[in-house]
Chain A
Amino acid sequence: MARPRRIQSVFLNIPYDEQFENLYLAYIVGVTQLGLAVKATLGVPNQGRLDTIIGLIEKSDFSIHDLSRIELSAGIPRFNMPVELGLALYRSHATNGKHRVFVFESKIYRTQRSTSDINGIDPQIHRGNPKGVMTGLRNILRQSGDVTTVPEMLASYRAVKKRLPEFKRNAGSQSLFEASVFADLTVAALVESQKLIEKRSGA
């Protein structure tokens, strides 16, 4: 039996809440359609969570950290994303930069004020919309072969979004942030990818 091909992977560090649903879907569709496997903390039980996060970062080729939602939540600042960014930065240091770290934000210059220690990293500004996420992903990632465009990714995003009720229903959940829905969305993005590749090759 042929050995499975290695698929490069990214540790995706994003907030999991209802207001972030569109961007969450944009990240999954965009990253997957560029040819990467997403490693995320979804479905990781709270016990031993930190060890799991460290393990996911170690197993990933690079990481993406979205710092657009670090504001107060019910009066308490959200520190999880910066903590995970710190872990990834240390991983990058320990591997002599082999593990790459990319930062996304919704507002220009905010990271320079909120997290000035990372001023050497230029954040990708997505302005809180899916197109911005995909543009940022295309800026930081280069496909060596077939190249997926932002309009193609956006069309796939819309196609997958249309099917969300069915994916949620199959998972028995109202939320997108379930391990089961995450897996289905990843596969769905690749079904759309195949359609794009076939269309491009005129099949």
Chain B
Amino acid sequence: MGMNAYVISNPVPSPEEMGRLLGLSPERVARVRSIMNAPSSRKTSKRSGSKYSAVAAKKATSRAKLRASGKR
């Protein structure tokens, strides 16, 4: 009963076809489409590039000092 795979004969429906089946208006489908197509808002750091370099330089200096002192 559950061993053999079930063969799907229809191709993947379009969002509009599925919207019609679900009783959604074309506007509603378009709205979902625009949500999915909107660029995602990525969280970006407030630190500028120069601040990043300053922090990296400071870390490198302290690492070098640590190595020179033989401490771990």
A160 contacts B1, CB within 8 Å? no
Among candidates A33, A92, A163, residue contacting B35 with C-beta atoms closer than 8 Å: A163
A141 contacts B8, CB within 8 Å? yes
> A44 vs B39: C-alpha distance in the bound complex, in angstroms?
35
Instruction: Sort chain A's interface into a size bin.
Output: 35 or more
> A34 vs B8: C-alpha distance in the bound complex, in angstroms?
8
Expressed in whole angstroms, the minimum distance between the Cβ of A178 and any Cβ of chain B is 13
B1 contacts A100, CB within 8 Å? yes
B17 contacts A7, CB within 8 Å? yes
A194 contacts B14, CB within 8 Å? yes
Q: Provided the pairs A5-B13, A144-B8 are in contact, do residues A188 and B35 lie with their beta carbons within 8 angstroms?
A: yes
Interface size for B (C-beta < 8 A) is: 30
Chain B stretch 35-61: residues in CB contact (< 8 A) with chain A: 35-37, 40
Binary B-proximity of A122-142 (CB < 8 A = 1, otherwise 0): 110000000000000001111
A7 contacts B1, CB within 8 Å? no
Q: Is B7 an interface position by the 8 A CB rule?
A: yes
Q: Is A86 an interface position by the 8 A CB rule?
A: no
The segment from A15-23, A70-78, A179-187 found at the interface with B is A179-187
A191 contacts B15, CB within 8 Å? yes
Chain B stretch 1-43: residues in CB contact (< 8 A) with chain A: 1-3, 5-15, 17-22, 24, 28-29, 31-33, 35-37, 40
Expressed in whole angstroms, the minimum distance between the Cβ of A139 and any Cβ of chain B is 7
A144 contacts B7, CB within 8 Å? yes
Most chain A CB inside 10 Å of its own CB: which residue of B13, B22, B31: B13
Q: Is A159 an interface position by the 8 A CB rule?
A: yes
Contacts of A84 in B (CB 8 A): none
Using a CB–CB distance below 8 Å, which chain B residues touch chain A? 1-3, 5-15, 17-22, 24, 28-29, 31-33, 35-37, 40
Using a CB–CB distance below 8 Å, which chain A residues touch chain B? 4-8, 32-37, 61-62, 92, 97, 100-103, 120-123, 139-146, 148, 159-160, 162-163, 166-167, 170, 183-184, 186-188, 190-194, 197
29 intermolecular pairs with C-beta atoms under 8 Å apart: A5-B10, A7-B13, A7-B18, A8-B8, A8-B10, A32-B18, A35-B8, A37-B21, A61-B6, A62-B6, A102-B6, A120-B1, A120-B2, A121-B3, A140-B5, A142-B5, A142-B7, A144-B7, A144-B8, A146-B11, A148-B12, A160-B36, A183-B22, A183-B28, A184-B32, A186-B22, A187-B18, A187-B24, A188-B35
